[in-house]
Structure 1
Amino acid sequence: MENSAYKPYKNSTFVPVAGLSFFAIASGFLMSLIPLSLASFGMDSSLVAWLASIFYLGILVGTTCIQNIVAKVGHRFSLILFLAMLTLTIVAMLVIPTATVWLIARFIAGFAVAGVFVVVESWLLMADSAKQRAKRLGLYMTSLYGGSALGQLAIGPLGVNGNTPFYWVIGLLMLAILPPLLVKKGQPESMEHQKISLREVKKISLPAVIGCLVSGMLLGPIYGLMPSYINGQFASNERTAFLMAIIILGGMLVQPLVSYLSTRISKSLLMALFCLLGTIGIVGIADGTSVSFVTTCYFLLGASCFALYPIAITLACETMALEKIVAATELMLLSYSVGSVFGPVIAEHSSTSAHSLITYLAVVLTTTSIYMLIKSLQNTRSGHTPAIG
């Protein structure tokens, strides 16, 4: 082990996973609530793409300084701080419901969410073996996507009009604060979190960086624009909530398979196969007429898009020392957030067609699948072992 002071048995998964679960339910509900509630607050629907992009811009900015905050106050207090910051942004949106305030609030919310992701991911990834990291990341992704799927289903019973749905989001975030607030043991041992040098950045697998970038390019539009696209298809808030939940459920249920396969076959090949699966799902969404068939295709789309990030981040962290895990997760989140910032705007303005979103998703998935397949073949020919592809 690189750090003899590090004691993995003290690094509990309960606090980050419990807090993350409530956060994910709130976040999943909020992601669909914001674009669907604009009309009730007298704001134009054209604001949707900008709200999505500025949120991910906040994540991008957050990735540049989260490490310093974690180093100063520790994982537990950092998690409390970022969850409280996110809660206050929602309060501000309700107190002053104008486009300018919402854009500023969503930027700050992105910063806070970046903090939550870096804290929880690094908390769980500070383990003493690649196998344990894969299992913990699978638990993280399952909690995140399971909670997000459950949050989507709240659209039906709670609605999208007025302040009441936002009060529920605030309540869920306050519940998310309780585990790190009340449980004072279990956070990673204090250590000096080191930055990654330029030489080490160059050694990080390029498919890992591209995988995180593409994950953002896919999930940014899915979270920010897909609710409006589905609502345009079916003109039903309940159907929109159901299909968004199906997308995220696909992402949740695929995580055990991702954990199993990521230590057995080339990660580049694995990302190529999931991107191909997503392309198949997109074709079915565009051409399908049966409701059950289209639902299955949305499930496949979610499984493919949500699989990329955990594969990419485990690939990036495989050779990292424990004291550099926070910096590595920051770098990967930075790649993800760059894709998330530009993804919604590109998807929204790439075409005047009503199907511009799924056309964009199909192009990104297909080109990424081809790239990852080429990298996998190159690694095989150069003699790299499949597990680190």
Structure 2
Amino acid sequence: MSRQLLAMALAPLLGLFILGIGNGFLATLITLRLDAAGESAVVIGWVSSAYFIGLALGAMLNDRLLLRIGHIRAYGSFASLVAVTVLLQGLVDHPWAWFALRLIGGWATVGVYLVIESWLLTAGDQKVRGRLLAMYMISLYAAGVLGQLLLGVTEAMGGAASFMVIGMLASLSVLPMAMIPRVSPLIEKAEPLNPLRLITLTPTGVMGSFGSGLLVAAIYTLLPLYLQRIGLPVDRIGQMMAVVVLGAMLLQYPVGRWSDRHDRQIVLIGIGAFCVLVSAAILWLPLNLWLLAALLFLLGGGVFSLYPVAVGHAADRAPAGALVRMSQGLLLINAIGSTVSPPLISPMMTVLGDAGLFWALGALGGILVAFFVWRRSVRPAPVPVAPFSPSTPMSSAGAELAVTDELMQGAAEHEHIEDLSSAVPEIDVAEPLVGPPPPDEAHIAYYADEEAGQVASDPLPSRS
């Protein structure tokens, strides 16, 4: 990866990291504040769901602003809107006002993700997309870990201090984008890409994004419940969740580098199979605390690597000018998967017990593997073309360069014929057999004078 490309990717990644620190604990903060205010679980659930509704709406609409004003100004607009909604939550504590603000905040947050993903996909080619997206996910998850640690510090300040800190971080995230030289990637003429065409263009990318939403949302929402029910205290649950995010962060780059060097369909099959194996190990192995932490570390690395590899696979097949719309569509599909995941998976924990979570994760991983293998058989990876060889030259200069074995053999045969020509007696031909007689000196002089404009009045001399 070149230094120029790294410099171009540094600003959006740094901006995402700063904004992600605040977003990393905002959802937890809102839940704690509503619960402390005596609100019911239904109200807390609706306020939390408003964020995902905003994500879905933004994924459908935000590309228009990005394509109209460019990456840098679009990022500034979305990040500023995030800051405003968070600061307003510190001023107004009514739950239904928070519902509206969380919806707008989700709409703006997915706009930030769209800007950064399309920036990285447009800036890099197929050989480095996996590593760029891995760096994107590393920045996001590292910010989430730091944000969770910052939650206790800001809550100790009391009042609206936590919301003020989040708002300030969102505002500060604009600085790296605004202060860099104007090296943002060019936006080509946008090509329409409706959901049906996206599914037709890259079924593997769509399924990978949807499956990633299902798996990641299940880990974020249901894994803490599983850990609580097996008897872990609250502080230990936080540590286990940090281990999951740490695995996601540390394994992103190796998986991204693997996907850059091999067919991404194979990488997706490997990730799905890996998730199945880790889920089975958690179900069947006798676990102690350290072994559980190691398996959760690996599970986080596998599950959270699925989305960037799926996006990279889709980008490899997207037509020119469609990367922004493609990223938008995959974000929408991922948000839909995240929204429907808890209602789909939580019943399995009721029917099969607490371990039903890992039965569900293993089943989802198996479904993804089966789908990816089927797509691989239907549409295998393109076979690399043969090495370049010179073809028939289109100019006289090219003939001197296109030297092949056939030409060498022909030249040798021609040289052999010339050697034999000395034995053939010469034939003296007085007049050419075909064609007009050669011009004499008088005709040559006449045409030269005519071209110079000095033709004499005497008629053209006749041939003798």
Is this a same-fold pair by TM over 0.5? yes
CA contact (8 A) 1:218 1:361 kept: no
Q: Which residue of 1 aligns with 2:150?
A: 154
What secondary structure does 1:126 align onto? helix
The one of 242, 245, 265 equivalent to 2:242 is: 245
The one of 295, 305, 308 equivalent to 2:293 is: 295
Residue range with higher mean Cα deviation, 260-269 or 93-102 = 260-269
Q: Distance in 1 between matches of 2:15 and 2:367?
A: 38
Deviations 1:313-345 (A, max 9, x none): 011110224421100101111110111121233
Shift of 1:24: 1.8
Q: Which residue of 2 aligns with 1:309?
A: 307
The one of 120, 126, 141 equivalent to 1:124 is: 120
Relative to 1, partners in 2 of residues 1:26 and 1:346: Cα closer, same or farther, differing over 3 Å? same
Is structure 2 residue 364 aligned with structure 1 residue 367? yes
Q: Which residue of 2 aligns with 1:137?
A: 133
- TM-score, scaled relative to structure 2: 0.72
What secondary structure does 1:191 align onto? coil
Relative to 1, partners in 2 of residues 1:347 and 1:162: Cα closer, same or farther, differing over 3 Å? farther
CA contact (8 A) 1:52 1:220 kept: no
Is structure 2 residue 270 aligned with structure 1 residue 273? yes
CA contact (8 A) 2:211 2:368 kept: no
Q: Which residue of 1 aligns with 2:25?
A: 29
CA contact (8 A) 1:118 1:330 kept: yes
**Aligned partner letter, 1:185:** R
Shift of 1:71: 1.4
Q: Distance in 2 between matches of 1:326 and 1:245?
A: 32
Q: Which residue of 2 aligns with 1:4?
A: none
Q: Which residue of 2 aligns with 1:108?
A: 104
CA contact (8 A) 2:82 2:105 kept: yes
What secondary structure does 2:136 align onto? helix
Q: Distance in 1 between matches of 2:351 and 2:162?
A: 32
**Aligned partner letter, 2:103:** F
CA contact (8 A) 1:281 1:300 kept: yes
Q: Distance in 1 between matches of 2:27 and 2:380?
A: 44
Shift of 1:236: 4.6
Relative to 1, partners in 2 of residues 1:48 and 1:269: Cα closer, same or farther, differing over 3 Å? farther
Residue range with higher mean Cα deviation, 145-154 or 12-21 = 145-154
Q: Distance in 2 between matches of 1:219 and 1:255?
A: 14
Q: Distance in 2 between matches of 1:386 and 1:344?
A: 41
Q: Which residue of 2 aligns with 1:334?
A: 332
**Aligned partner letter, 1:339:** G
The one of 44, 47, 50 equivalent to 2:40 is: 44
Deviations 1:74-124 (A, max 9, x none): 111111111111122222322222332222222212111110111000011
Deviations 1:46-89 (A, max 9, x none): 44544443322211111111111001221111111111111222
Relative to 1, partners in 2 of residues 1:233 and 1:52: Cα closer, same or farther, differing over 3 Å? farther
Shift of 1:152: 2.2
Q: Percent of pairs identical after alignment?
A: 25
The one of 317, 320, 323 equivalent to 1:319 is: 317
Q: Structure 2: which 5+ runs fail to align? A: 385-464
Deviations 1:284-320 (A, max 9, x none): 6567652222222221221122111001101111022
**Aligned partner letter, 1:376:** V
Q: Which residue of 2 aligns with 1:16?
A: 12
Q: Which residue of 2 aligns with 1:99?
A: 95
Q: Distance in 2 between matches of 1:227 and 1:103?
A: 24
Q: Which residue of 1 aligns with 2:217?
A: 220
What secondary structure does 1:318 align onto? helix
Relative to 1, partners in 2 of residues 1:314 and 1:30: Cα closer, same or farther, differing over 3 Å? same
Q: Distance in 1 between matches of 2:260 and 2:99?
A: 41
CA contact (8 A) 2:207 2:368 kept: no
**Aligned partner letter, 1:105:** L
CA contact (8 A) 2:210 2:337 kept: yes
**Aligned partner letter, 1:215:** S
Q: Distance in 1 between matches of 2:333 and 2:288?
A: 37
CA contact (8 A) 2:275 2:365 kept: no
Relative to 1, partners in 2 of residues 1:42 and 1:95: Cα closer, same or farther, differing over 3 Å? farther
Shift of 1:262: 1.3
Instruction: Tell which structure's C-alpha radius of gyration is larger.
Output: 2
Q: Which residue of 2 aligns with 1:3?
A: none
RMSD of equivalent CA atoms: 3.1
What secondary structure does 1:65 align onto? helix
Relative to 1, partners in 2 of residues 1:134 and 1:201: Cα closer, same or farther, differing over 3 Å? same
**Aligned partner letter, 1:141:** M
Relative to 1, partners in 2 of residues 1:134 and 1:382: Cα closer, same or farther, differing over 3 Å? closer
**Aligned partner letter, 1:195:** P
Is structure 2 residue 76 aligned with structure 1 residue 80? yes
Is structure 2 residue 179 aligned with structure 1 residue 182? yes
Deviations 1:184-220 (A, max 9, x none): 5222224332222678535422121011011111223
Shift of 1:11: 8.3
Q: Which residue of 1 aligns with 2:429?
A: none
Shift of 1:145: 1.5
Q: Distance in 1 between matches of 2:287 and 2:187?
A: 56
Q: Which residue of 1 aligns with 2:252?
A: 255
Q: Distance in 2 between matches of 1:385 and 1:224?
A: 39
**Aligned partner letter, 1:314:** G
Q: Which residue of 1 aligns with 2:404?
A: none
Q: Which residue of 1 aligns with 2:391?
A: none
User: Relative contact order: is structure 1 or structure 2 higher (C-alpha 8 Å, sep ≥ 6)?
Assistant: 1
Relative to 1, partners in 2 of residues 1:216 and 1:9: Cα closer, same or farther, differing over 3 Å? closer
